[in-house]
Amino acid sequence: MQFKLIVAFVDDAVTDDVMKGARMAGATGATIINNARGEGVKRQRTFFGMQLETQRDVLLFVVEQHLARKILERISNIAGFDEDPGKGIAIQLNVEDAVGVAHQVERLKGKIEEEL
């Protein structure tokens, strides 16, 4: 079984919704890293030298390759990445090998057969 790693940088206000949507699209879970900070093309506004920016979360999903694109698109739609600049991004990377996912393989086999 082949896997992809989806890395999503989202506003912390939408993390729970993104997680629910990703699970509905086939993700079996994620690791969430709180309080990340990023900078895009435009620098964030400041107020007396303090940056006015929302907190970001980094979500790491290891997902089966056949489900990856669907999950990625669901994350993008829920987080609103294409609506306004600065909403966040998500990328997917190939996973050469993974351990610790054996308990999920049986569940994923059934899900993948349904999808295909």
- Tell me the CATH number at 111: 3.30.70.120
pLDDT for 116: 61
pLDDT band with cut points at 50, 70 and 90 for residue 19: very high
pLDDT for 60: 97
Structural domain total, the chain: 1
pTM, 2 dp: 0.81
Cα separation, 113 vs 116, whole angstroms:
5
- Cβ-contact 67, 22 below 8 angstroms: no
pLDDT for 14: 94
**For the chain, what is the total number of helices (H) and then of strands (E)?**
3, 6
In the 8-state DSSP scheme, what is residue 45? Answer: P
Of residues 61, 82, 55, the one with CA closest to residue 7: 61
pLDDT for 49: 55
> pLDDT by residue (tens digit) across 91-115?
999 999 888 877 777 677 666 666 6
Domain that holds residue 101: 3-115
The pair phi, psi for residue 65, each rounded to 5°, is -60, -35
pLDDT for 50: 53
Between 72 and 108, residue with greater pLDDT: 72
Chain-centre distance for alpha carbon 74: 9
